[in-house]
Structure 1
Amino acid sequence: MSRIETDILVIGAGSAGLSVAAGAVQMGARVVLLEGHEMGGDCLNYGCVPSKALLAAAKAAHGQRHAERFGVANAPGEADYAKVMEHVAGVIAEIAPVDSQERFEGLGVTVIREYGRFISPEEVQAGETVIKARRIVIATGSSPLVPPIPGLDTVPYLTNETLFDQREKPEHLLIVGGGPIGMEMAQAHVRLGCRVTVIEGETSLGKDDPEMASVVLETLRAEGVAIEEGAKVAEVSGKSGAIEVTAEDGRRFSGSHLLVAVGRKINTDRLDLEKASIATSDRGRIEVDDTLRTSNRRVYAIGDAAGGLQFTHVAGYHASVIIRSLLFALPAKAKTAHIPWCTYTDPELAQVGLTEAQARAEYGGRVEIATFAYDENDRAIAEHHTRGHIKVMVVSGRPVGATIVGHGAGEQISLWALALANRLKMSQVAGMVAPYPTYGEINKRVAGAYFSPRLFDNPLIKRVVGFVQRRIP
């Protein structure tokens, strides 16, 4: 058994862990990084990267079949599913060197390709190595939640960790779960020529603004996705190529393939957290304070391991927060009000801050809602992307939340994340000049919509203007 002493030990080489390791080692800290599975974690290998590559291929096929509106002849848009998945694998391979063991060793990080487990409050064993560290960062991420559905263990099923290994196109894909992952994969597969049925126990995209989510759901239904809501799964049966899902209310759904997309579970099973006196919640989430420290003062938990919002950009943000504490002993707290997220369907659905319902619950009658529609944006009209709109929740002249459904919503939401992070006023957004014609004008125009009643429907303003005009020589 070998022993290593280090300044910082990072457990997990996903987005969160890699960000900490790269930042810390380049600023002079000794860093050991543990990873028992794939470098790059879920985002690179099974999540953000492959899913967006698949959506891009599906969008290309869909575009060919709907080119006539531009005066271009429609084409069949037939997809070779195996080649599409090779495209996905190629995208992963192109990005992988950035997250590779070789790159991080080149930076000076000691990389050990083993899972780690605590053996004391300040020691972790990884294979035949024991690491003692001044500070330890748990960045083990999450993995697909597989619920205890009767019969599920008797049939072949896919998760996001196995879907991208598929080379045979599903004839009829059943998706259990109507959240962002389920809906993205539903649209991707229906555009690639599969039949798709989404089976959701409650409401699809239920964590989002229902008015805005309905735009996405209507689009998916129009493209051929069958969305069955209020269908809690009671049983799964069948065999490869012939799978049946039975809901509690008796509805039955038959398909060739099954994708389980009902949520995520935090990867803490291997860690032996009790040996480090690290407290967890009943659901296995590591308990952290607002500095992301655990009940063991030497140990931090970041990214999905810390619970809360499970997004790659949150993992990177958490890394930036704790770097201040790890390296400089400076106070730093993680916040959530300015964290955006996006569902990458077409149209996209993006959110930052409070939804309309949340804003009204918190601020009551003080909330004002500003909206602007995509079909009033010239660029959207030129490119036939007029479905959607933006909604901004405003209190005392400052935005407290924004929701966007429409083309490029994930890009557009960044401005509102900036506004919330820096407590900007609507007047400052209105003062922005966006190039014409761009989708970015939507953000300026919604700020204008907020001020329009104050300017154009105000009798006092009109009297002042009239007074000034009568006295101009």
Structure 2
Amino acid sequence: MATAASTFDAIIIGAGQAGPPLAGRLTAAGRTVAVIERKLVGGTCVNYGCIPTKTLVASAHTAHVARRAAEYGVGTGPVTVDMATVKSRKDGIMLADRHGVEGWLDGMPGCELIRGHARFEGPHTVRVGDRVLEADQIFLNVGGRATVPDIPGLADVDYLTNVGILDLDVLPEHLVIIGGSYIGLEFAQMYRRFGAAVSVVERGPRVTAREDEDVSAAVTAILEAEGIDVHVGATDMRLVKKDNGFALHTRDGADPIEGTHLLVATGRRPNTDDLGLDAAGVETDARGYVTVDDELRTTAPHIWAMGDCNGRGAFTHTSYNDFEIVAANLLDDDPRRVSDRIPTYALYIDPPLGRAGMSVAEVKASGRRALVGKRPMTRVGRAVEKGETQGFMKVVVDAETEQILGAAILGVGGDEVVQDILDVMTAKLPYTAISRTMHIHPTVSELVPTMLQELTPLE
């Protein structure tokens, strides 16, 4: 006997950053909603990403500042790190956030939170265990997971991903990280500050490959100044298990790197391979990302994809903005598009890198005439006062329209300062909207106008 289907106005698969707020908007509009989550409510950000990692970064920063206290005339004595307490603090903050989202969904009128793995059985039909659900509209918010590269010997080693490393409550003797991008570098600096020896191994010629070369060089210098070993050009990696850990061979002629703990941070992939998308008429690209249009509709017009699974951004803020775009078009008669937003993100090493828009390399490749401004943080009074003068700020401007094309702020407060520039970019104002504006002294932001007053042609 066939199972009777439960009918809803909408089904949301995945309770990450876009799913719960969309459920809130839909139920407030009088619609019934099923939210399906197979693992942890809150998705990557709450459970494995922003919330726990930035909590750990805060603990690491505190240890770092304490060790430098004598530079500021403050005596602290020997600085020690209790990793069990660090983990406990992280767990408490993360769990409070997760439980908050769970409580929101559980108490939301018109919403049912269903636990289990969802799989399409037809364009409007989804099965979760013994239950069959139907809805006129379906929204995918299924996120992504870490990729594991095909490295000889890796299967013989007890390696960690960004998920497993969060369960550590002891300090590694030597943490080796494969992958020189954002996740890997944040954990590298964090664990070095906790007291571990740390090595970063990158296959390519430099870390943070998507950034301009001067940014990559400055990031490398920041990490190496704290005692992190950075190895690039690791084109022939293989692992050999040893009694007390492993040896990582990187390329011919290079000495192997011996470590006790291994973190693999080489990228992520979307969770789209076991959803039965074919049964719904939803297409994916060669990498598994759901194909969407500018309003985030999939190739099935009644199904939308939000967050990491659509390939339009891999950040919490892009996922939440996806929700806003979908809700605006569906509920507010407000035509919003993905192409209207300016790419922006941050790398949370310390000092952080804040990025908005195009890199200088991308501007050069576009062939347009441009102006560039750059200022070292050693010439930013606020940074000098705080004793944090690493990095620089850089901006690139269209020479004809005078609109800002992109910015990189690598330095104290860079993740906040870059948003001043982002707002002006979004408003499509000329750079003079900042360069002629009086800023507060003493701040890091006050040097952005000065930088913009000293633009030179990009060569």
Deviations 1:59-87 (A, max 9, x none): 11111111122112353321111211111
Q: Which runs of 5+ in 2 are unaligned?
A: none
Partner of 2:342: 338
Deviations 1:14-48 (A, max 9, x none): 11222322232233332211001000111111111
Structure 1 residues 3 and 273, CA, compared in 2 at 3 Å: closer, same or farther? same
From 243, 247, 253, the equivalent of 1:244 is 247
Structure 1 residues 240 and 42, CA, compared in 2 at 3 Å: closer, same or farther? farther
Contact 1:337 1:420 survives alignment (8 Å)? no
Partner of 2:129: 127
Question: If you compute each CA radius of gyration, which structure gives the higher value, 1 or 2?
Answer: 1
- Residues 1:419 and 2:420 aligned together: no
- Residues 1:407 and 2:412 aligned together: yes
- Residues 1:372 and 2:375 aligned together: yes
Structure 1 residues 200 and 401, CA, compared in 2 at 3 Å: closer, same or farther? same
Alignment of structure 1 residues 37-186 onto 2, 5 Å = 37-73=39-75, 75-100=77-102, 102-108=103-109, 109-186=111-188
Structure 1 residues 215 and 74, CA, compared in 2 at 3 Å: closer, same or farther? farther
Structure 1 residues 53 and 241, CA, compared in 2 at 3 Å: closer, same or farther? farther
Give the structure with the higher percent helix: 1
Partner of 1:444: 449
> Aligned partners of 2:243, 2:351: CA distance in 1, in Å?
33
Segment drifting more, 321-330 vs 274-283? 321-330
Give the residue type in structure 2 aligned to 1:51. T
Q: Which runs of 5+ in 1 are unaligned?
A: 454-473
> Aligned partners of 1:402, 1:23: CA distance in 2, in Å?
34
CA RMSD of aligned residues (A): 1.8
Contact 1:342 1:349 survives alignment (8 Å)? yes
Give the residue type in structure 2 aligned to 1:382. E
**What's the offset of the Cα at 1:330?**
5.2
TM-score where L is the length of structure 1: 0.91
> Aligned partners of 2:446, 2:131: CA distance in 1, in Å?
56
> Aligned partners of 1:318, 1:149: CA distance in 2, in Å?
35
Deviations 1:164-183 (A, max 9, x none): 11112100001000001111
Alignment of structure 1 residues 361-400 onto 2, 5 Å = 361-364=365-368, 366-395=369-398, 396-400=401-405
Aligned length: 450
Contact 1:177 1:198 survives alignment (8 Å)? yes
> Aligned partners of 1:82, 1:103: CA distance in 2, in Å?
30
Give the residue type in structure 2 aligned to 1:416. I
**What's the offset of the Cα at 1:442?**
2.5
> Aligned partners of 1:41, 1:378: CA distance in 2, in Å?
40
Partner of 1:459: none
> Aligned partners of 1:248, 1:284: CA distance in 2, in Å?
31
Percent of pairs with identical residues: 32
> Aligned partners of 2:10, 2:220: CA distance in 1, in Å?
46
> Aligned partners of 2:327, 2:319: CA distance in 1, in Å?
12
> Aligned partners of 1:291, 1:250: CA distance in 2, in Å?
51
Partner of 1:34: 36
